[in-house]
């Protein structure tokens, strides 16, 4: 089996009489999509906006970012088990609308929601400023709980991405990449001389609006599981959390995980990428011990020489990161950790809440506490009012001229722990 991913490059995004791709422009029927989304009884109001790179626009508070995709050989969209019918993701053919995204915003759900600036210094810190974004501003009906509110906006964004993805169903891709899917023993047979590498993919699952979904299942309810890396490209993993914006893995991050893409690009050349183990980040010691024990066991079963481990979030999940590292290293398997740091605004504080003498290879996504001043924008989509209470904001950070000073923590993707960002840090 194999997965064929066909990229369709989009250079512009506009509203139009029908939703279609024409001359590298994605046209969206505004009224049709709005009506489609308002079928959810939990939503009182939905407004659609379009933003382009370089515009003086600020979007906040951002809940999720999703890339439109479609499987042309399937009825319905991607995101199996969530808003699409169940199927095994990561095989067959997938068409991708490259250069556009769906961004969801509206009334704040949890305090850890962030900012996308389409220009200025904030844009340099956020990968989504380079995209043509369909922004959905949605507000709930009266009386919904925060959990119902989050679920409604999460599913709304996925439905919108599926709707847009349909425009790519019959379009010939500009480029196609093929990925092989083989049984584990075949990888060992085909590449006996290459170092065997696996990826431990830690997913946020602390509850209280800190959740991630795997085929529609809240991952705090699963044990570590072996998956084929291409499954994430078809929406098998979906964001449902309000962790700090800087290191939140949006659904777009999962769909385009650079760890997975880079390992697949090197597979069969200088390493053999045998697969991924997804694991959770629960809050009790028993859950952490269970998940790290089973993660290390699965990695050992894979017969690998090395493992990359990525974290999502900080603080409490730092313990999961170090448990996974220590137990895998104790089995004689080398680890490389990908995380970010909370080292204080001056960079002199302890970077991680936990540590291990075996954690000797760490890639940093930068210091989330570093300060940045974002100039006023001509337009705000969503609501600027929560800027002093979201994670990374603080009282006095909003100035009379419209500029704001925040920690990088407030900017979506600024210190992303999949390496989907421009920052890093070094020890001197």
pLDDT digits (tens, 9 = 90+) for 100-148: 999 999 988 876 789 999 999 999 999 999 999 999 999 999 999 988 9
Contact 349, 342 (CB under 8 A): yes
Contact 280, 319 (CB under 8 A): no
For 80, which DSSP code? B
pLDDT digits (tens, 9 = 90+) for 347-398: 899 999 999 999 999 999 999 999 999 999 999 999 999 999 999 999 999 9
Active site residues: 242
Contact 30, 136 (CB under 8 A): no
pLDDT digits (tens, 9 = 90+) for 36-73: 999 999 999 999 999 999 999 999 999 999 999 999 99
What's the half-sphere exposure (Cβ side, CA atoms, 13 Å) at 183? 3
* Separation of alpha carbons 19 and 254, rounded Å: 25
- Residue 424 pLDDT grade (very low, low, confident, very high; cuts 50, 70, 90): confident
Q: Which two tokens stand for residue 262?
A: 């880079």
DSSP 177-190: EEEE---HHHHHHH
- Report the pLDDT value the prediction gives residue 181, as an integer from 0 to 100: 86
Chain centroid, CA 241 distance in Å: 10
Contact 272, 194 (CB under 8 A): yes
pLDDT digits (tens, 9 = 90+) for 172-203: 999 999 998 899 999 999 999 999 999 999 99
Buried b (16+ CB within 10 A) or exposed e, 71-86: bbebeebbbbbbbbee
């Amino acid at each position: 089996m194999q997965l064929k991913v066909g990229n369709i490059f989009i250079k512009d995004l506009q509203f139009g009489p029908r939703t279609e791709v024409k001359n590298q422009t994605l046209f969206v029927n505004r009224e049709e999509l709005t009506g489609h989304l308002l079928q959810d009884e939990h939503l009182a109001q939905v407004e659609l906006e379009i933003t382009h790179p370089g515009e003086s626009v600020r979007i906040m508070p951002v809940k999720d970012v999703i890339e439109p995709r479609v499987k042309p050989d399937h009825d319905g969209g991607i995101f199996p088990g969530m808003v699409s019918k169940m199927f095994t993701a990561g095989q067959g053919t997938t068409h991708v609308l490259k250069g556009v995204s769906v961004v969801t915003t509206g009334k704040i759900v949890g305090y850890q929601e962030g900012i996308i600036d389409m220009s200025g210094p904030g844009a340099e810190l956020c990968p989504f400023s380079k995209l043509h974004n369909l922004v959905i501003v949605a507000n709930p009906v009266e009386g919904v709980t925060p959990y119902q509110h989050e679920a409604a906006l999460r599913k709304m964004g996925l439905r919108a991405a599926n709707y847009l993805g349909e425009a790519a169903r019959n379009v010939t891709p500009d480029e196609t990449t093929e990925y092989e899917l083989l049984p584990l023993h075949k990888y060992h047979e085909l590449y006996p001389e290459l170092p065997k590498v696996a990826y431990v993919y830690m997913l946020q699952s602390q509850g209280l609006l800190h959740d991630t979904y795997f085929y529609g299942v809240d991952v705090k309810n699963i044990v570590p599981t072996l998956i084929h890396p291409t499954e994430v490209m078809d929406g098998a993993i979906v964001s449902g959390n309000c962790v700090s914006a800087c290191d939140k893995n949006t659904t777009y991050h999962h769909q385009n995980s650079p760890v997975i893409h880079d390992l697949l690009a090197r597979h069969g050349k200088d390493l053999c990428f045998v697969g991924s183990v997804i694991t959770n980040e629960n809050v009790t010691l028993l859950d952490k011990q269970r998940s790290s024990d089973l993660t290390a066991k699965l990695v050992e079963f894979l017969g690998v020489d090395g493992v990359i481990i990525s974290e999502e979030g900080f603080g409490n999940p730092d313990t999961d990161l170090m448990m996974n590292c220590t137990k895998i290293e104790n089995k004689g398997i080398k680890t490389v950790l990908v995380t970010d740091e909370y080292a204080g605004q001056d960079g002199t504080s302890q970077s991680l809440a936990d540590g291990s003498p075996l954690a000797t290879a760490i890639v940093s996504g930068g210091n989330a506490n570093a300060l940045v001043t974002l100039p006023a924008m001509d337009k705000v989509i969503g609501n600027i009012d929560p800027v002093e209470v979201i994670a990374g904001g603080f009282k006095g950070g909003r100035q009379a001229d419209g500029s704001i000073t925040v920690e990088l923590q407030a900017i979506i993707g600024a210190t992303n722990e999949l390496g989907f960002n421009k920052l890093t840090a070094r020890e001197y």
